[in-house]
Amino acid sequence: MRDQWNSKLAFILAAIGSAVGLGNLWRFPYIAATNGGGAFIFPYLFAIITAGIPILILEYTLGKTYKAGAPGTFARINRKFEALGWFQVAISFLITVYYFAIVVWVLCYIGYSFTLSWGDDATTFFVSDVLQATSSADGTGGLNVQLLIPFFIVWAIVAIVMYRGINKGIDIACKVCLPILLLCTAVMVIRGITLPGAIDGLEYMFHPDWSAIAKTDVWVAAYGQVFFSLSIAFAIMISYASFLPKDEDVVNTAFLTACCNHGFEIFAGIAIFSILGYMANVQGVGVEEVAAGGIGLAFMVFPTAISSLPALNGLFGAVFFITLFTAGFTSLISIIQAVITGVQDKWEMSHTKAATAVMVPAFVVSFVFITRSGLDYLDYADYIANSFGIVLAGIVELVLIGWFFKPEKLREVANLTSNFSVGQWWTWCLKFVTIIVLGYTFIISMTGFIREGYGGYPLWIGIICIAFLILTAIVFTAMKGKPSFYQKPDDAPGYDD
Ligand code: PFF
SS (H, E, C) 184-237: HHHHHHHHHHCCCCHHHHHHHHHCCCHHHHHCHHHHHHHHHHHHHHCCCCCCHH
Q: Nearest 5 degrees, angle CA 246-CA 45-CA 26?
A: 90
Cα separation, 430 vs 185, whole angstroms: 34
Once rounded to an integer, what is the mean pLDDT over residues 184-211? Answer: 94
pLDDT confidence of 196, banded at 50, 70, 90?
very high
pLDDT tens track for 250-286:
999 999 999 999 999 999 999 999 999 999 999 999 9
Residue 137 has pLDDT above 70, yes or no: no
In angstroms, what CA-CA distances link 289 with 21, 74, 281?
Answer: 25, 47, 11
Residues β-bridged to residue 371: 143
Cα 232 to middle of ligand 1, angstroms? 9
Question: Residue 143 has what DSSP assignment?
Answer: B
> Which of ligand 1's atoms lies nearest the C-alpha of 27?
4
Q: Does any ligand 1 atom lie closer than 6 A to the CB of residue 257? A: no
Q: Does any ligand 1 atom lie closer than 6 A to the CB of residue 239? A: no
Residue 139 has pLDDT above 90, yes or no: no
Cα separation, 73 vs 239, whole angstroms: 9
What pLDDT, on the 0 to 100 scale, is given for residue 159? 98
Question: Residue 21 has what DSSP assignment?
Answer: S
From 22, 230, 324, give the residue whose CB has the most ligand 1 atoms within 8 Å, as the site to mutate. 22
Count of C-beta atoms within a 10 Å radius of residue 451: 7
Cα 310 to middle of ligand 1, angstroms? 33
Q: Is 487 helix (H, G, I), strand (E, B) or coil?
A: coil
Exposed e or buried b for every residue in 193-230, given b needs 16+ CB within 10 A? bebebbebbbebbbeebeebbeeeebbbbbbbbbbbbb
From 158, 262, 335, give the residue whose CB has the most ligand 1 atoms within 8 Å, as the site to mutate. 335
Once rounded to an integer, what is the mean pLDDT over residues 143-171? Answer: 95
Q: Does any ligand 1 atom lie closer than 6 A to the CB of residue 202? A: no
Q: Does any ligand 1 atom lie closer than 6 A to the CB of residue 92? A: no
Cα 96 to middle of ligand 1, angstroms? 9
Cα 482 to middle of ligand 1, angstroms? 31
pLDDT tens track for 431-486:
999 999 999 989 998 998 999 889 888 899 999 999 999 999 999 999 999 999 99
DSSP 348-373: T--HHHHHHHHHHHHHHHHGGGGBTT
pLDDT confidence of 497, banded at 50, 70, 90?
confident
Q: Measure the N-to-C terminal CA separation of the chain; round to a whole number of Å.
A: 27
> Which of ligand 1's atoms lies nearest the C-alpha of 336?
13
Cα separation, 142 vs 131, whole angstroms: 11
Those residues with Cβ within 8 angstroms of residue 199's Cβ, 6 or more apart along the chain or in another chain: 274, 277
Residue 430 has pLDDT above 80, yes or no: yes
Cα separation, 69 vs 340, whole angstroms: 9
Q: Is 314 helix (H, G, I), strand (E, B) or coil?
A: helix
pLDDT confidence of 348, banded at 50, 70, 90?
very high
Q: Dihedral of the CA atoms 269, 273, 275, 277 (nearest 10)?
A: -170
Q: Into which CATH architecture does domain 8-479 fall?
A: Up-down Bundle (1.20)
Once rounded to an integer, what is the mean pLDDT over residues 41-45? Answer: 93
Residue ID of nearest Cα to ligand 1 atom 9: 331
In angstroms, what CA-CA distances link 241 with 148, 269, 360?
Answer: 35, 29, 25
pLDDT confidence of 143, banded at 50, 70, 90?
confident
Q: Does any ligand 1 atom lie closer than 6 A to the CB of residue 225? A: no
Count of C-beta atoms within a 10 Å radius of residue 34: 18
Residue 133 has pLDDT above 90, yes or no: no
Q: Does any ligand 1 atom lie closer than 6 A to the CB of residue 23? A: yes
> Which of ligand 1's atoms lies nearest the C-alpha of 92?
13
Cα 161 to middle of ligand 1, angstroms? 17
Residue 53 has pLDDT above 80, yes or no: yes
> Sign of the C-alpha dihedral, residues 385, 386, 387, 388?
positive
To which H or E segment does residue 269 belong?
Answer: helix 250-283
What pLDDT, on the 0 to 100 scale, is given for residue 141? 76
Kindly list the domain boundaries of the chain, sorted by start residue: 8-479
What pLDDT, on the 0 to 100 scale, is given for residue 400? 96
- Residue pair 276/287 in contact by the 8 Å Cβ criterion: yes
What pLDDT, on the 0 to 100 scale, is given for residue 138? 63
Cα separation, 390 vs 208, whole angstroms: 29
From 231, 239, 340, give the residue whose CB has the most ligand 1 atoms within 8 Å, as the site to mutate. 231
- Residue pair 106/26 in contact by the 8 Å Cβ criterion: no
Cα 216 to middle of ligand 1, angstroms? 25
Residues composing the chain? 497
Axis-axis angle for helices 313-347, 172-193 (nearest 10) = 150
Count of C-beta atoms within a 10 Å radius of residue 479: 9
What pLDDT, on the 0 to 100 scale, is given for residue 135? 65
Task: Identify the CA nearest to 144 among candidates 355, 309, 373, 324.
Answer: 373
- Residue pair 34/27 in contact by the 8 Å Cβ criterion: no
Cα separation, 342 vs 479, whole angstroms: 13
Q: Nearest 5 degrees, angle CA 444-CA 449-CA 453?
A: 160
Task: Identify the CA nearest to 354 among candidates 336, 368, 366.
Answer: 336
Residue 77 has pLDDT above 70, yes or no: yes
Q: Does any ligand 1 atom lie closer than 6 A to the CB of residue 21? A: yes
- State the burial class of residue 135 (Cβ atoms within 10 Å of its Cβ: 0-12, 13-18, 19+): exposed
Q: Does any ligand 1 atom lie closer than 6 A to the CB of residue 335? A: yes
What average pLDDT does the structure give for the chain? 93
